[in-house]
Amino acid sequence: MDYDLQKNQHAEQTYHSIRNSIVSAQHRLSTAVNSAMVTTYWEVGEQIFKACGENDRAEYGKRLLEYLSKQLTAEFGKGFDKSNLRKMRQFYCTFPIRDTLCPELSWSHYRVLMRINDEQVRTFYMEECAKAAWSVRQLERQINTLYYQRVLASQDKTAVVKEIQTREPKPEYEKIVKDPYVMEFLQNQPDTHVYGGKYK
């Protein structure tokens, strides 16, 4: 075999080996960070719900959210503004049993799932998404194209299930550092000088 060809093949093999190590590490990192985010936001939502009860838009609830948002945003960044805190509370209310959460799904997945009002349909998409390892874009497409209804109506369910890989192929790996929710969660470290503040 030509010496240069051997060198090229060896270089390519080395590249693919290194690349596989990097992709594997990114996948592990993505899984760990997303799991931590989902758990944290569920806990935040639970605490807000328990603090302000059924209605976070009543006077006490609004004042509490304003206070929490101001304190948490100053320390941890804009990921904890009032809108996001309400989303976390909604997350807890939508999935009140922590053990029913799927560790395979990210916060971005759950934000999409929370748009579905019907609990049975939402559970179906959550379970299918975890089982098939859909990306967020794949999940959105399945919901928008009425995947649930099509599966129920179709006599060829296998074809319907496989369709997503043609219409919206999943990326080989998620670029976690480009996810804005992940960036918000990771980029701001606690400021040890920002504490206290008075709740009036």
For residue 110, give both structure tokens.
């759950």
| CA separation, residue 17 to residues 12, 128, 172, 192 (Å) | 9, 32, 16, 42
Same domain, 15 and 66: yes
Q: Please identify, among 97, 128, 144, the residue that sits at the C-terminal boundary of a domain.
A: 97
Among 97, 120, 146, identify where a domain stops. 97
The verdict on 127 and 160 lying in the same domain is yes
> In the prediction, which pLDDT does 90 show?
94
The reply to whether 108 falls in a domain is yes
Task: Confirm whether 193 is domain-assigned.
Answer: no
How many domains, in total, are found in the chain?
2
The residues, any chain, with a CB within 8 Å of residue 34's CB and separated by 6 or more, are 105, 106, 107, 176, 182
Q: Is 77 among the domain residues?
A: yes
- In this prediction, residue 61 carries a pLDDT of 83
Report which secondary-structure segment, H or E, holds 127.
helix 119-132
State the pLDDT at residue 52: 86
Cβ–Cβ under 8 Å, residues 75 and 67: no
Asked whether residue 141 is assigned to any structural domain, the reply reads yes
Residue 179 exposure: Cα atoms within 13 Å on the Cβ side: 20
Q: Are residues 80 and 111 in the same domain?
A: no
Q: What is the pLDDT of residue 156?
A: 77
Domain membership flag for residue 3? no
CA atoms of 50 and 29, how far apart (whole Å)? 32
Query: How far apart are alpha carbons 88 and 67 in whole angstroms?
Result: 16
Residues 59 and 107 in one domain: no
Mark whether 84 and 112 lie in a shared domain.
no
Range of the domain at 28: 9-97
The one-digit pLDDT tens for each residue of the chain (200 residues) are: 566 767 788 888 888 899 889 888 877 887 888 899 999 999 999 999 999 877 767 788 889 999 999 999 998 888 899 999 999 999 999 999 999 999 889 999 999 999 999 999 999 999 999 998 898 999 999 999 999 998 888 877 777 777 877 777 766 666 555 667 776 776 655 444 444 444 44
The pLDDT assigned to 199 comes to 45
- Do 114 and 158 lie in a common domain? yes
Which pLDDT score is estimated for 124? 94
In a domain, 181, yes or no: no
Any domain includes 61: yes
**Residues 77 and 111 reside in one and the same domain:** no
Question: Do 107 and 54 sit in the same domain of this protein?
Answer: no
pLDDT of the residue at 85: 95
User: Residue 63: inside a domain, yes or no?
Assistant: yes
> Does 20 share its domain with 85?
yes
pLDDT of 157: 75
Residue 1's alpha-carbon distances to 5, 7, 13, in angstroms, are 7, 10, 16
Residue 67 shares a structural domain with residue 142: no
> Which token pair is 179?
């996810």
Query: Do 129 and 57 share a structural domain?
Result: no
Q: 84 and 19 share a domain? A: yes
